[in-house]
Amino acid sequence: MNSNGVAADLTPGAGTILSPRVTPVCNSFSVGGIRVRLLGEYPADIALFPPATLFRSENSEFDVEVEVEWVSDIPSSMSRQMFDAGSTWRLYESELGYQFDFHSETLGPQPYRRLLVDRKFTQAKLYLSEDCFSRLPAIPEPLGYPLDELLIMHRLTQERAIELHGTGIVRANDVANLFVGHSGAGKSTTTRLWTSREEVEVLSDDRIIVRYDDGRDGPAGTTGMRMYGTPWHGEAMFASPNSAPLTRIFILEHGHGNVITRLSRSQAVGELFARAFVPFHRHEYVEAGLSFLEELVGTVPCYRYLFEPDERAVEKIQQFND
Amino acid sequence: MQAHYPEVADGASIEHVAAGDGMNRKVVQDRDKGRSNDQGKKPYEAPHLATISLRPEEAVLGHCKVLGTGGAGGSACGFTCPSAGS
């Protein structure tokens, strides 16, 4: 794939991305305040596809560095398996830290990608299987889903931050509401209702990262909880690299009428945890997520919102005061 | 399934338990110990449990995210996934 996101032809002799070699190249992106630098031998190694291209960063500093390398094939792992997510990825212990193997039924039983990363998620090596990728008509994004989201999700355990299943909507008056919900709870519907009624910025309609802003990303001197857009959008297809100070959180559920109920801190932690993306394979990561949620709900008011999917659901929030 | 949401006070503790699919969690309420009405405080309420269901199939990124709509891998991911998830 070239820098415009056009997939390269891997057919032997067709002038593939594997030849001619070029000077090592790098690319950077930032999601949720996590700055990732990619290093590779070929432009396609470090390519970003839309909407990830929106998150490209020119910042020379980084939190995570990923070196991409092609290998002829990736053998099945003999290491101890720590977690099996189902059809897409498995986690193993490695000498360096962790080994993520990615599988696809389309590409056979061997991993088509392998990510080796240290336990602090600062240095990583990504191996791509020439054998597997050569079976595809076009090369997918090397760091494409779920690798990118897994990397960011794991790195967030080292920060005061968490990824939530929700839609983040910032109004013109700077009120930034986060609507959190399981699949089918109404996130995309809520997003469409808001965008049809007033000028808002939607940071994402499916995945939002909330983190404590130590002043790095907001205006000088401002600190507090901040929500960030991500590339991992939902049905409404909103993905923004922007962020905003978080005003309040609503737990979305379908109901009769539009009813807002303030949640206690313990209720809010439980409900948010059930809608969070946290690495479950290690207790310290779960504890880090819970600790941050406790901090979050102690700072930002959290409500349950039983709503009906029409304009009145938006009006209710517009007229709402804490 | 309609969940039950009892009132739980601030300061309640959270206990993680392995139950069912191993992903359930209990919220343990233990508040207002030693408080009384004559001090203008809330009356004592007995601790009770709230079970909150997790959705591991969503939480662990075990599926292709949104087929055909870009999603995290995007329609350009190049794969034919057997199942879609969120």
In terms of C-beta distances under 8 Å and separation of at least 24 residues, what long-range contacts does A270-274 make, across chains too?
Answer: A270/B14, A270/B25, A270/B27, A270/B50, A270/B52, A271/A180, A271/A302, A271/A304, A271/B52, A272/A162, A272/A164, A272/A180, A272/A296, A272/A297, A272/A302, A273/B25, A273/B52, A273/B54, A274/A182, A274/B25, A274/B52, A274/B53, A274/B54, A274/B55
Q: CB-CB: which of A106, A150, A266 is closest to B79? A: A106
pLDDT of residue B16: 41
pLDDT of residue B47: 84
Query: Can you read off the two tokens belonging to residue A309?
Result: 């999917």
* CA-based nearest residue to A172, from A271, A263, A244: A244
Task: Give A146-211 as a 3 state SS string.
Answer: CHHHHHHHHHHCCCCEEEEEEEEEEECCCCEEEEECCCCCCHHHHHHHHHHHCCEEEEECCEEEEE
Residue whose structure tokens are 């696809």: A104
Where helices occur in B1-86 by DSSP H, the ranges are 56-59
Q: Are A140 and B79 in contact (CB under 8 A)?
A: yes
Q: CB-CB: which of B54, B62, B65 is closest to A85? A: B62
Q: Does B17 touch chain A (CB under 8 A)?
A: no
Q: What pLDDT band is residue A15 in, cutting at 50, 70 and 90?
A: very low
**Residues A8-15, mean pLDDT to the nearest whole number:** 34
Pick the range with the lowest mean pLDDT from A190-199, A237-246, A270-279, B35-44: B35-44
Q: What pLDDT band is residue B79 in, cutting at 50, 70 and 90?
A: low
pLDDT of residue A79: 92
Query: Can you read off the two tokens belonging to residue A11?
Result: 């057919």
Q: Does B12 touch chain A (CB under 8 A)?
A: yes
**Residues A227-233, mean pLDDT to the nearest whole number:** 97
Q: Are A164 and A180 in contact (CB under 8 A)?
A: yes
Q: How high is the mean pLDDT of chain A?
A: 90
**Between chains, do A146 and B7 touch, taking CB under 8 Å as contact?**
no
pTM of the entire predicted model: 0.82
pLDDT of residue A141: 87
Report the first-to-last Cα separation within chain B, whole angstroms: 19
Alpha-carbon gap, residue A8 to A14, rounded angstroms: 9
pLDDT of residue B24: 52
pLDDT of residue A256: 92
Alpha-carbon gap, residue A100 to A109, rounded angstroms: 15
Q: What does the pLDDT look like over A125-181, one tens digit per residue?
A: 999 999 998 888 887 889 999 999 999 999 999 999 999 999 999 999 999 999 999
Q: Does B37 touch chain A (CB under 8 A)?
A: no
How is A285-315 classified by DSSP, letter by letter? HHHHHHHHHHHHHTTS-EEEEEE-SSHHHHH
pLDDT of residue B12: 41
Q: Are B23 and B54 in contact (CB under 8 A)?
A: yes
**Burial class (CB within 10 angstroms; exposed 0-12, middle 13-18, buried 19+) of A61:** exposed
**Residues A200-205, mean pLDDT to the nearest whole number:** 98
CA angle B74, B75, B76 (to 5 degrees): 85
Pick the range with the lowest mean pLDDT from A76-90, A190-204, A250-264: A76-90
Q: Are A213 and A223 in contact (CB under 8 A)?
A: yes
Q: Which of residues A33 and B46 earns the better pLDDT score?
A: A33
Please, what sign has the CA dihedral across residues A242, A247, A253, A255? negative
Specify the DSSP class assigned to residue A42: S
From the candidates A264, A285, A295, which should be mutated to test the interface with B, based on the most B CB atoms within 10 A? A264
Q: What pLDDT band is residue A3 in, cutting at 50, 70 and 90?
A: very low
Q: What is the ipTM of this complex?
A: 0.71
